[in-house]
Amino acid sequence: MKAEETNQSATSLRCTVVVTTWQRPDALRHTLESIMRQSYLNLETIVVCDGEDSDTRALSRNFEGSHLIKWVFHPNNRGLAAARNTGARVATGDVVLFMDDDIVADQELVSMHMQQHLSAGARRRLVVCGRITENPERLLTSYLDRCLRDATDRIFAESTSALLAPGDESIGDDVERGLWCGLNCSVRRTYFLKEGGFNEYFRASDEEMELGLRLHLAGFEFVFEPRAQLIHMNTKDSATYYRSSWSHTGALDVYRVFTLKQKNAQTQRLVSMFHGYMMNRWATRAAWHLAGPLRSLSRPLRNAANRTQWHFLVGAWSRMTQAAEYWSSVKAAYCTLPRLKHVAGHSKCAVMLHSVSAPRSDDERSYYISPRRFHRLMRYFRAAGYKTATLEQWLKDDLSEKHVLLTFDDGYDDLYEALLPLVIEHGYTPVIYLVVDHIGASNMWDQKTGLRARNLLTLAQIREMQKYGVEFGSHTLTHPWLPSVSDAQLHSEIHDSKHRLEDLLGVEIASFAYPFGGVDRRVRSAVAGAGYKLAFTVRPGQNWWNDPLCQRRAEVNDRTTSLNFACKLRSGRSCTETISARLRNMEEEFPTKLLRDMARGVRKIGHGLLHLHTPNARNNP
């Protein structure tokens, strides 16, 4: 009864299931049988055979009586990406759902996908990702195969966990590295085609990852639907598959960075010997120079892991083989270290302040900064050779190591007296994020959290500061906690604030700052849809090949010491935050569980001691 109700409410949308295949008619038959058992009624299936295949043609004749299945045969093999694009182009459905030829779909799979699209509406650009389970009955002949299947299950679990993460945990580098759009994923067909579909250069690997991240950066919202389940009847040798994938990824990363200009979380590894922690850089550089010898050690290490069934050797084989295959492939694509160093560029730091005003309470000390401390820190800023960056320089990556973006949130009126003279005298180019409905009024959002009433910049002051090179961005209309507002209010706060500021100031408003740092996947999608080129969070750290709509900033307030200010200008973090981040990195990189647990324990002890001696900062609502 429940399935019937779902079908009745969702059948206004037509779904096209695109199944790609080549030379696997037996597996394809089982796949099509499971699709024909779907409870969802408004459905068509398009089978794209990627190359001439007499056995698959024979199978197609067995389904001639079904008007719900269309068959398309490529004259030549063009790759999975091209086959999927062909299916999407000939589809008639509102939504396309991608399948492989070696799966068994749950009866409610299509219905669960369509339910998500129906509830979201046509306005939200949604990618729905279903659950994928590897065939539990597959016979695994070696210890390494068993470990690699467990690793595959963990990869799927981590990817789906990221899609379910709340708040700002649903965005950022870790999430972007695992995004995909392919097997058991659905998207509205018009949006898919408008974004160009799969990149057909990716014939053997990574096409799902590349499309997933491209859609995310364009503002698509990813949703995990655990009830849309299928079993992947994989028959490939795991070790051979992974080794091939690692090799293809190296050459494809070169293509993505140098041809497509995709400098993002998925391609950071290509230049990892020039960024990050010193030990990681050394290890990567060693792998670059020793790729050949490491490759020759792969088979003996694999045999030793299977013989001893020692998990440490499996981890060693995985790390060594991945590095050897990746860097051998990169070098085969005519990449050199000087070429990689040139494209790597510099990391970028931004600092965030609010009000330059003497704080009157402990809460205000974690939010405001006294004029005396502000001027002392800015004297160090100049003496150390730092300069302020402009938004244009930031967007173009046209920065030296000592350029810092100086940002101020909310637009307090003390900036006219405390900041403008420094702008005029030293040529600073700060960016002030304005709450548009409160220009010339007061900070109502702060008063709700117990802070005193403060005046904000007037339009006349804003225009005067603009004449001297001060830039402005949007901080919404009313400064709400964006993750909790309705879709309608979210659209108004983000879109309308941009357009109204552009009308008031006569320039494009290209940047945005999330009030209270409140951002999740839905909010980020709305910011992308509004046309902003940059958006800033309150996460600390450097910016390097990361999401332009999730840029990091180091907060500077009346508790910031000169030492911590110097550290934040250099690394985007305070001294203690830098140590904590390094220990967290060690947890991930150490080769044994014992060492990872030790690093985690040290970090937690330090974190606890830090919070014992650090008063609470301003709380988010």
Residues 136-154 pLDDT 10s: 777 778 899 889 988 888 8
For 114, list phi and psi in degrees, rounded to 5. -70, -30
pLDDT in tens, 226-244: 999 999 998 888 889 999 9
Burial 423-439 (b: 16+ CB within 10 A, else e): beeeebbbbbbbbbebb
The pLDDT confidence band at residue 134, using thresholds 50, 70 and 90, is confident
CB 50 within 8 A of CB 77: yes
Q: How far, in whole angstroms, is CA 148 from its chain's centroid?
A: 25
Only one residue has tokens 């708040």, namely 167
Pick 159 or 190 by higher pLDDT: 190
For 226, list phi and psi in degrees, rounded to 5. -65, -20
pLDDT in tens, 551-568: 999 999 999 999 999 999
pLDDT in tens, 566-592: 999 999 998 888 877 777 776 666 655
Mean pLDDT for the stretch of residues 395-405:
89
Mean pLDDT for the stretch of residues 342-359:
94
Q: Is 356 helix (H, G, I), strand (E, B) or coil?
A: strand
Distance CA 545, CA 98 (A): 30
Q: How far, in whole angstroms, is CA 579 from its chain's centroid?
A: 24
| pLDDT confidence of residue 608 | 63
Q: How many CB atoms lie within 10 A of CB 78?
A: 17
DSSP labels, 482-544: GGGS-HHHHHIIIIIHHHHHHHHHSS---EEE-GGG---HHHHHHHHHHT-SEEE-S--S-BS
| pLDDT confidence of residue 603 | 64
Paired sense of beta strands 349-353 and 403-410, if any? parallel
Size of the chain, expressed as the number of residues it contains: 621
| pLDDT confidence of residue 88 | 97
| pLDDT confidence of residue 413 | 96
CB 230 within 8 A of CB 109: yes
CB 202 within 8 A of CB 211: no
Question: Please, what is the end-to-end C-alpha distance for the chain in angstroms?
Answer: 42
In whole numbers, what is the pLDDT of the chain averaged over residues?
90
Distance CA 419, CA 404 (A): 16
| pLDDT confidence of residue 607 | 60
Q: Give bridge partners of residue 187 from the DSSP assignment.
A: 96, 127
pLDDT in tens, 429-448: 999 999 999 999 999 999 98
pLDDT in tens, 30-89: 999 999 999 999 999 999 999 999 999 999 988 877 778 999 999 999 999 999 999 999
Edge-to-edge strands, sheet with 103-105: 69-73, 43-49, 15-21, 95-99, 185-188, 126-134, 221-232, 103-105
| pLDDT confidence of residue 596 | 66
| pLDDT confidence of residue 593 | 63
Mean pLDDT for the stretch of residues 184-213:
96
pLDDT in tens, 526-553: 999 999 999 999 999 999 999 999 999 9
Q: Give bridge partners of residue 535 from the DSSP assignment.
A: 512
DSSP state of 451: P
Q: How far, in whole angstroms, is CA 460 from its chain's centroid?
A: 39
pLDDT exceeds cutoff 50 at 14: yes
As given in the structure block, the two tokens for residue 283 are: 């290890």
Q: How many CB atoms lie within 10 A of CB 318?
A: 21
pLDDT exceeds cutoff 60 at 6: no
∠60-65-66 over CA atoms, to 5°? Answer: 80
